Structure 1
Amino acid sequence: MIRLLFLFYFSLFIISCSSSKKLNETIEETPHWLKEFPISQTHYIGIGLADKSKFPTDYIKIAQKNALQNLVSQIKVNISSQSQMVRMQKELNLKQDINSFIKIKTEDIIEGYEIIDTYTKGNEYWVYYSLNKELYREIKKKKIEIATEKSKVLLQNALESSNLKNKYIYFVSALGELEPYFNESFITDLNGREVNLKSEIISQFRSYINNYLINSTNDKISLDLVHPKSKINFQLMHNNKPATNVAIDVISKSFDLNTISNQTDFKGFFSVLINKIKEIEIHHSIELALNFKTWLNEAHTSEFIKSLFEKINVPSFTFPIKINAPNFRISSTEKQYTNNSNRQDLLLATQDKLTSIGMKITENEDEAQLHIVINSETKKGSHIIGHKMYTSFLKMTFQIYDQKSHLIFSKTIDEIKGIQLSYEKSETNAYFNGKSIIKDQIIPEFFENL
């Protein structure tokens, strides 16, 4: 019996030791770099994790990407260039943070890292990356030197090229070469001068942009109000030479217009067709702005570089346009309940509206190009007994004739209502409403139909 008990307990001891050994082996299988993040003076370390259950087909790539991001986060941005980066960001009013962009680009250009180990436990897949710091600095330094030389060549091409489109593309491409290392200062020698290459490119580009000039072929631009259709010619120059094949945007809230072409011709000319005047104001103008969007798209595909150049102000040119307004003569017959009166409410309202938008009024028939004739009369409406409220209605005809007495505009409005405590006051109220209709509806309608 004692012998059997001894064998039983001995077997339990052996099994226990075996289980303990397996447990220790399992614990030891967890790599040391997961137990404690490695610290190295000579290497950047990156550790990444992916869940195999969430990403069953590409968990390896995701873990590698996460490890690379972890590694990149340890590479500090060059502090010496931060003040310059902040100035550039403020100056160009960039919404995108430059430093966040730099971190993204660093992931794209990082080289020389190696995979040290991987580990799988259940659905967890881990990757361990390492990058030699000295190797990273050497690779980066070499790449910056290459990018600097390429950028300088492109900048020199921009300065020497006589083709305006090529100049633009060279400038953009020169800055694009520096894009992967935009946090660096890029102090270099350029034609015997020590310059910050990024700042030099932007400065020279601004100089190039500011040398554009648009001139009107006429000293003064004027349009006839009654017959405004006209073609206005402009010429785009760059350093006193015609600028060809440059796109131009035309902006105006006053005119309905279109362009014959969306860019300048071989002599730098650009024409705008005025179809009609949309809004009558005291001052009218047309704005022309250079549009380099097509060239920018051809020069570089990077959204970051595009955003930099889009923030650099492009010249725009505003040209005042004089409206040759006709002289108006106004006459009115404003009756009071079919009786003639000395009332001039509608005449004065018409005169006030026309002068407020820059029109001229004359009483001389020979000086007038347009003659406004207003005829109106009122009639009594109902009287609500017991409420002491009286109603009057105004009928108004508003007509405009040209110098040859041809009717060019006519508007009749019946039963403009006025309500007050007496017929006399209700008639005054009806005429008041008639004045508002002339100012807010009839005169604007006349000009819209020109």
Structure 2
Amino acid sequence: MKKAFLVIYSSFILLSCGGSKSSSTIPANAPDWVQKTPLSSFNYVGIGMAPKTSSDYREKAQKMALTEISNSISVTVSSNNSLNVFQYDNTFNEFYRMNSMVSSASFIEGFDVVDNFEDKNYYYVYISLSKQKHESLKRARIRKALESSLFKFDYAKKMLEQKNFSEGIKQQIYALEDISEVLNEDLRFTENGIEKPYVSVLMNSIFSTFNQVEIVFPSKELNINHAKDRMEISIYPILANIQGEALGNFPLKSNYSWLPGQSQFWKTENSGVFGINLTRNFNKNTRERITTYVDVPTYVKSISQNNVVHKIFENYQPKKFELPINKTLPVFEVNFYAVDQTKRKITNLEEQLNSLLERDFFTKATTRNKPDFQIAIESKKVENLAVNGKTSIKLESKIVITNKAKQIIYQETIHNLIGIGNTLELAEQDAVNSLFDKIKIVYYNPIIQSML
């Protein structure tokens, strides 16, 4: 699988400090900080205001002040940090950028309430956060997240060595969950005396584990004979495993070449096996395929509730396994009869219909290859007129298809087939040609479907 590298960028969001407040709402006796946000080189400053129309106006004002501080804190992403992952796009870039901003706001701690002021209509609060304290708390939070993640990552490696793959994958996801809020940081760790970028190593380990999943079908190819096999086909057992170890309760997804855009979802039994039930697909293709693979997004969601983790695996493309399907279409025999039960075969029309069916992979019957279906087309005259030296004829034709047990599986009566010619024979031939044209345009597909 081709890797596509991603660098997650985050833009600075800087709101200007020192802006004046609207004079229309500020009382004359308000302190200076209400009228104009103080500037500070050492602190982030936030001024919040809320109308006293609800009981929680103090909380609302404080939230507004903290939002102002969070907007002043730039979410800086190191250009040296990249996630060594598969097939991500701008959707994920934007998602993570916004998530980083939200996370930044949620981690504001260690602030001080410097002052507050209120009149009969409004409540104001002045909050300050030391830039040095904020940076210190941030580093401590990152260190704690990395330590927790590394502990789970080491445990995951131990589980994988013991071939406990389900637990190993789970611990890898938990390790990623621990650092999901600080993926933008240049996280590093030491392994075997070598300093390495932790995010890249962890992600590659997770994807490497998923790529070891093997799905084993009970046969190398599924052969279907449309004339003999049942309408419902069961493929069982299909085994999902890693290094021969069964993966129980593992979600899988199957796609089918004859149903583009549709999928079916499965879950393995405790023994790692599952089965696919197929309904006969009524098309003329002789080569089809079933594609099955791990439903990674569903599996990750069963382990983690973290939206960033979900997003990381949303577009991940796992290794896929295919079961080819070889379909044998029925053997047929066509009998095209002339008008009014003369039983005179119309050879050229038979050949044309034979050619159409063989083009669609049906097999023409021979003395050695007996037909699965017989197609009989007979016509009778319902009207015959002679006008000005021309003969006009109207036919009614019946199409009947029977199987080996002589059961009728399809029949259709075609009315008002008009033929015109200088003689009766030519008029009949013209009507029969009209019949064949109508079969090709209107009735050919139903004929095909009845034999599939």
Separation of aligned partners in 1, 2:182 and 2:266? 41
Give the 3 Å change call, closer, same or farther, for CA 168–306 of structure 1 in structure 2: same
Aligned to 2:252: 248
C-alpha offsets along residues 225-260 of structure 1, whole Å, 9 cap, x if unaligned? Answer: 2314443232223124333332323332549xx999
Aligned to 2:20: none
| Secondary structure of residue in 2 paired with 1:335 | strand
Shift of 1:155: 1.3
Amino acid at match of 2:287: H
Amino acid at match of 1:411: Y
C-alpha offsets along residues 153-194 of structure 1, whole Å, 9 cap, x if unaligned? Answer: 111122221322212221111111112222212122234332
Separation of aligned partners in 2, 1:302 and 1:432? 63
Separation of aligned partners in 1, 2:109 and 2:83? 24
User: Could you list the runs of 5+ residues in structure 2 that have no partner in the other structure?
Assistant: 1-25, 422-426
Are 1:182 and 2:189 counterparts?
no
Amino acid at match of 2:204: S
Aligned to 1:432: 437
Give the 3 Å change call, closer, same or farther, for CA 88–340 of structure 1 in structure 2: closer
Aligned to 1:151: 149
Give the count of matched residue pairs. 411
Separation of aligned partners in 2, 1:125 and 1:260? 56
Are 1:399 and 2:391 counterparts?
no
Shift of 1:151: 0.7
Aligned to 1:296: 300
Specify which of 356, 361, 364 is matched with residue 358 of structure 1: 361
Aligned to 1:12: none
Between Structure 1 and Structure 2, the one with more helix by share is 1
Aligned to 1:7: none
Kindly report which structure 2 residues correspond to 1:328-407, keeping only aligned pairs within 5 A, or say none.
Answer: 328-336=331-339, 342-344=345-347, 347-348=350-351, 350-364=353-367, 366-379=368-381, 392-402=394-404, 406-407=405-406
8 Å contact from structure 1 (residues 176, 300) kept in 2: yes
Separation of aligned partners in 1, 2:445 and 2:195? 65
Q: Which moved more, 1:409-418 or 1:336-345?
A: 336-345
| Secondary structure of residue in 1 paired with 2:67 | helix
8 Å contact from structure 2 (residues 285, 327) kept in 1: no
| Secondary structure of residue in 2 paired with 1:375 | strand
Give the 3 Å change call, closer, same or farther, for CA 347–147 of structure 1 in structure 2: same
User: Could you list the runs of 5+ residues in structure 1 that have no partner in the other structure?
Assistant: 1-25
Give the 3 Å change call, closer, same or farther, for CA 231–340 of structure 1 in structure 2: closer
| Secondary structure of residue in 2 paired with 1:332 | strand
Aligned to 1:224: 225
Kindly report which structure 2 residues correspond to 1:26-425, keeping only aligned pairs within 5 A, or say none.
Answer: 29-53=29-53, 56-81=54-79, 84=82, 90=88, 94=92, 96-121=94-119, 123-161=121-159, 162-225=163-226, 226-228=228-230, 229-232=232-235, 233-252=237-256, 254=258, 262-266=267-271, 268-292=272-296, 295-326=299-330, 328-336=331-339, 342-344=345-347, 347-348=350-351, 350-364=353-367, 366-379=368-381, 392-402=394-404, 406-418=405-417, 423=427, 425=430
The percentage of counterpart residues that share the same residue type is: 18
TM score, norm. by length of structure 2: 0.79
| Secondary structure of residue in 1 paired with 2:37 | coil
Give the 3 Å change call, closer, same or farther, for CA 211–186 of structure 1 in structure 2: same
8 Å contact from structure 2 (residues 380, 395) kept in 1: yes
Give the 3 Å change call, closer, same or farther, for CA 286–79 of structure 1 in structure 2: closer
Q: Which moved more, 1:117-126 or 1:340-349?
A: 340-349
